[in-house]
Structure 1
Amino acid sequence: MGVDELLAGNKAARSRQARNRKRVRAARTRRGFVRTLIQLAGELLITAGVVVLLFVVWELWWTNIDAGNTQQNAVSQFARNFQGPVTPAAPQPAGTPPKNYGPPVVMPAINSPGEVFGVAYIPRFGKDYSRPLVDGVARAQLDTLGLGRYESSTMPGGVGNFAVAGHRQTHGAVLDAIDTLVPGDKIYVQTKDGYYTYVFRNDQIVLPTQGDVLLPVPTQKNAKPTQRFMTLTSCNPRFGTQERIIAYAVMESWQPASAGPPAAIAAQVAANKSKG
């Protein structure tokens, strides 16, 4: 083999080696770029997961604490301004019918969103359960003060439908246990005028568009009311909004503020007064 051929062969070999090195560097660059993209995507997914987790913690934990404090302050404020004894009246002798206080006093409709006009006590939800009743069902009311009155409904004790709404899992979770009510459970409502005792009757699952549950006689269009209803509405299922759960109750009795609270909630009424 001549010198020229040898030199040409070496030159071709060096050229092939250079091309091979370029291909290797290009492949490494592509692999590095892909690896960087994968790492970046992974970091973004982790970050998104942390953000979602923090949002869930905020929604299910912090909003309950924040709204719970606001609601307790509202109950304490109401109790501080309430005029009347906080101890129940002496029990009637055995065999004596319950004292009749006449027709219930019904305060005029407020129609002032955000105004607290009473307190609800539901022993089925816990012996310490007491939540403010506020006018209005917008987020401004339900996200802070809890149980909001539909402004189209009557006031406590009125003939017709006293209807309220509340959250289940967030912002105080005021109706979280609505599905645990059983027929015969008592729902007590305290206003400046006195105490109204409602008895739970039944519940119903409906679509969000079924507004007839708020009629003066629930679900009965054009019916003239003769009874005093209370209707509780909330989302269903607990972590969804696809449906609404409706709890119906009928008023059993009432007593003026001067008569003291019903014995079943007297301890909680006194506790709220002491906090006020």
Structure 2
Amino acid sequence: MWAERARTAIRSVGEILITLGVVLFLFCAYQLFYTNVIADEAMRSEVSDLHKLWAAQPPTPRSAGSATPAGLGPFDTADSRGTSGAAFAILHIPRLGDKSIPVLQGTSLDLLGRGVGHYKDSALPGRVGNFAVAGHRKTHGEPFRYLDEMRAGDLIVVETADTWYTYREDRDPFIVDPTDLAVVAPVPDHPGETPSQKLITLTTCNPWWASTQRMIVTGTLIAQQPRSAGEPPALTVNTPKFQ
């Protein structure tokens, strides 16, 4: 009697453990693979929608020497950062491949599954200050998966409704604490100071499977040109890629 009950209990526990193992395996497969499939499709859709919007409502480009950057579609007002969740630019990082990454307004987890997120209080592309964005390094499309492979001098291109902005990376990627928000200040590491440069900051988690640190890439604007002039040199030269 007791032996039969013990066998039944052991069998039941075994079945529960097997079920939990299958559930855990499916969850890991979802996180590792399916979130990337969903995010990649979402990013392609955002980029396609932006290009269609820009083609349907072409803004009037300003001169490259203008103090005010060219239009950003729904973000083209001096005091507005646009609608939360809206895509307004496209990020290109030649060193990391040919992927076009939409930039959305905000950094919530759901938005980071559709592209990279713009820190709401940071500058807009091409404007004085620090254009700061965040992106996933693992799962959900992994736009910054190999951000650690970037090096000083690499070029970062931001495409907006009517302008290409090209930034040059200032230094190799570096690590900060996740609480170090000074890296996305208008003057990085100097909160409260008035900016005079046009900067970009890319942020992501470090290491791959944790959020105990932040990996940072910074750059300075070196060129801009109208979209009507075609792709900038940074996207047409044969840059060695890490993929």
TM-score (norm 2): 0.85
Match of 1:113 among 80, 84, 88: 84
Q: Does 1:159 align with 2:116?
A: no
Is contact 1:148–1:166 with CA below 8 Å preserved after alignment? yes
Deviation at 1:211, TM superposition (A): 1.1
Match of 1:60 among 26, 29, 32: 32
Gapped runs of 5+ residues in structure 2?
57-62, 71-75, 238-243
Deviation at 1:263, TM superposition (A): 3.3
The worse-fitting range, judged by mean Cα deviation, of 105-114 and 229-238 is 105-114
Match of 2:194 among 207, 211, 224: 224
Deviation at 1:34, TM superposition (A): 1.9
Match of 1:102 among 40, 65, 69: 65
Deviation at 1:83, TM superposition (A): 4.5
Match of 2:158 among 186, 189, 193: 189
Partner of 1:135: 105
Gapped runs of 5+ residues in structure 1?
1-28, 85-99, 268-276
Percent identical among aligned pairs is 38
Deviation at 1:266, TM superposition (A): 5.3
Q: Does 1:252 align with 2:215?
A: no
- One-letter identity of the residue aligned with 2:102: P
Aligned length: 222
Q: Does 1:50 align with 2:22?
A: yes
Is contact 2:118–2:132 with CA below 8 Å preserved after alignment? yes
Partner of 1:205: 175
Q: Could you say what secondary structure the match of 1:82 adopts? A: helix
Q: Distance in 2 between matches of 1:221 and 1:118?
A: 26
Is contact 1:105–1:157 with CA below 8 Å preserved after alignment? yes
1:227-262: per-residue Cα shift (whole Å, max 9, x none)? Answer: 111011111111111111111111111112232221
Structure with more helix by fraction = 1
- One-letter identity of the residue aligned with 2:11: Q
Deviation at 1:38, TM superposition (A): 1.9
Q: Which has the larger radius of gyration?
A: 1
TM-score (norm 1): 0.76
Q: Could you say what secondary structure the match of 1:139 adopts? A: coil
Q: Distance in 2 between matches of 1:250 and 1:263?
A: 16
Q: Could you say what secondary structure the match of 2:164 adopts? A: strand
Deviation at 1:196, TM superposition (A): 0.3
Match of 2:96 among 125, 138, 148: 125
Q: Could you say what secondary structure the match of 1:231 adopts? A: strand
